[in-house]
Amino acid sequence: MSRWKSIGQLLLEYGLTDDEGLREGLKMHKASGIRLGEAMVKLGKVSRDDINWVLSKQLDIPFVIVEDVIPNDELMGKFSRQFLIENRIIPLHETDEQITIVTDDPLNDTAIDFIRNSFGKKVNVSTGSGRKIERVLKKAYEKATLPELIASLEGIIERIRETSFYRMDFLPGKTSCRINIFGAGISKNIAILQGAFTKQDIFAAFDSLDIPFLYNTFTADNNLFLSVYPVVNTLEPTGRPVIAGKYGLCLPADITFTDTAIHGVAGFFRSDSPVQGYGYFATRKGGPVSENSVSVIDAAPEDFRECYIDAYIPEKCPSCRGDGCEGCNDLGYRFSVMEGLFSSDDLNERLKQGRDGKY
C-alpha cells in the first residue's frame, strides 16, 4: 500500500473528505506531481491542519498542540533563525542520543537530514500546525530581541555618558532598528539592531533600565522617528536632573520646563515657552530662550554674552580621525570640558573647531 493511498484512506476514515473530494485530489496529485495532501489543501477539500493531523496518524508520530509548546531558547539558539522559519520547525528537546522537533512537514527529508547530520543524533519528529509553528517562532524571536535592545541601550548610554552626545535617535524599520547618537551638531550611527521594534518596546527598554527621558517623535518619508534624551546625570551645583552628556547653558532653578514630551522623569514640566523664574530646557535649534534657560548647546541662543557654560566640547579623535577606534570608545571623538563664563561666539567657535578637528 502506498503512503499516499493511506493518507487518502485516513482522510476518508476520519470523515475529513468524501469519495468525490478524494477523487479530485488524486487527479490533481497525478497530473501535477504534488503530494496528495498538498493537492487536497489546494482544492480546498481539507485544511493544512487536517493533513498534519492525518500525517501524524499515518507516520505514527505524535501530533503536537503547538499552543502548548514553550520554546527552548537555548536549543533554538543552536539553529539559524532562517532555517527554523523557512522549514517551520520548533526544536523541543535534546538528549545525548536524540533531538525532538515539531514541524508541519514530517516528510521534509532535507531539513530533517540536515539536523541529523549537524547534531549527529537521531531526530524524533512530531507534527503540528504550520501556521501556529510560525506564530510561536515569530513570538520567540521577538521576545529574544527585547533583552538585546536593553543591553544595547545600556551600552550606548554608558559610552555617551561623559561626552557631548545627549540624544539618541531611533529609526525603526520592518526588520531592524537604526540608532544614531546626536550632540554638538554631530550625528553618528552607533547601532543597527535586528528586530522590529515599536515605540512601546523602546520605552519598555528604558523603563527596565530605570532611565527616564524626554522625547520627540516625528515622521519623515512615512517612517516614525523617535528622539530620546535620557536623563541620567545631575547637574551640579543645582542638583537638577539633566540628560546624558554635558551641555549648554545653566542657570539654577527648582523646576525645569521643556518643550519635549516627558517619560518617567520628575522635576520636568512641559511648556512650549519659557516660564519666568524657572529653568527652561530647549531642545529645538532656535527655540525660545530666556534669562533662565537651560539649553542644549545645539539650541544655544544666537547671541548671549557672559553666560555660564558647562559642556563637553567634541574634538575629532586624533587617532582615527572620526572613524572610531578603541581610544575614543568607537565614537570618533574625544571631549574636553568647557566651563565658565563665555559668549555664544566663544561657544560656537569652539564647537566649529572641534568638528573640523582643529585641535
Smallest distance from the beta carbon of 244 to Zn ion, in angstroms?
A: 20
Q: Would you state the cell numbers that stand for residue 135, as one nine-digit string?
A: 506564530
Nearer to Zn ion, 3 or 321 (CB): 321
- Based on the shown chain and the rule CB under 5 A, indicate whether residue 309 belongs to the binding site for Zn ion: no
Nearer to Zn ion, 67 or 323 (CB): 323
Cis peptide before 237 (omega within 30 of 0): yes
User: According to CB under 5 A, which residues from 91 to 120 bind Zn ion?
Assistant: none
Number of residues that bind Zn ion (CB under 5 A): 6
Question: How far apart, in whole angstroms, are the C-alpha atoms of residue 359 and residue 357?
Answer: 6
Smallest distance from the beta carbon of 333 to Zn ion, in angstroms?
A: 8
User: According to CB under 5 A, which residues from 242 to 261 bind Zn ion?
Assistant: none
Integer CA distances (angstroms), 226 to 170, 208, 211, 214, 250, in order: 5, 18, 16, 11, 26
320, HSE (Cβ side, Cα atoms, 13 Å): 13
Question: How far apart, in whole angstroms, are the C-alpha atoms of residue 224 and residue 217?
Answer: 7
Please choose, out of 42-50, 110-118, 138-146, 309-317, the segment that lies near Zn ion by the rule CB under 5 A: 309-317
Q: Let me know: does 183 contact 163? Beta carbons within 8 Å.
A: yes
Q: Which residues pair with 263 in a beta bridge?
A: 213
Smallest distance from the beta carbon of 339 to Zn ion, in angstroms?
A: 24
Q: Let me know: does 201 contact 193? Beta carbons within 8 Å.
A: no
Report the alpha-carbon angle 99-103-104, nearest 5: 165
Instruction: State whether residue 4 is helix, strand or coil.
Output: helix
Smallest distance from the beta carbon of 329 to Zn ion, in angstroms?
A: 8
Nearer to Zn ion, 241 or 354 (CB): 354
Smallest distance from the beta carbon of 181 to Zn ion, in angstroms?
A: 15
Nearer to Zn ion, 98 or 187 (CB): 187
Nearer to Zn ion, 189 or 198 (CB): 189
Smallest distance from the beta carbon of 183 to Zn ion, in angstroms?
A: 17
Integer CA distances (angstroms), 100 to 71, 90, 127, 142, in order: 12, 9, 11, 23
Smallest distance from the beta carbon of 155 to Zn ion, in angstroms?
A: 17
Q: How many CB atoms lie within 10 A of CB 33?
A: 8
Smallest distance from the beta carbon of 161 to Zn ion, in angstroms?
A: 17
Nearer to Zn ion, 79 or 335 (CB): 335
Q: Let me know: does 243 contact 214? Beta carbons within 8 Å.
A: yes
Site string for Zn ion, 259-298 (x = CB under 5 A): ----------------------------------------
SS3 readout for 224-261: EEEEEEEEEEEECCCCEEEECCCCCECCCCCCEEECCE
User: According to CB under 5 A, which residues from 213 to 232 bind Zn ion?
Assistant: none
Smallest distance from the beta carbon of 357 to Zn ion, in angstroms?
A: 11
Sign of torsion, CA 129 131 137 139?
Answer: negative
Nearer to Zn ion, 123 or 328 (CB): 328
Nearer to Zn ion, 217 or 319 (CB): 319
Site string for Zn ion, 317-336 (x = CB under 5 A): x-xx----x-xx--------
Nearer to Zn ion, 69 or 320 (CB): 320
Q: Which residues bind Zn ion (CB under 5 A)?
A: 317, 319-320, 325, 327-328
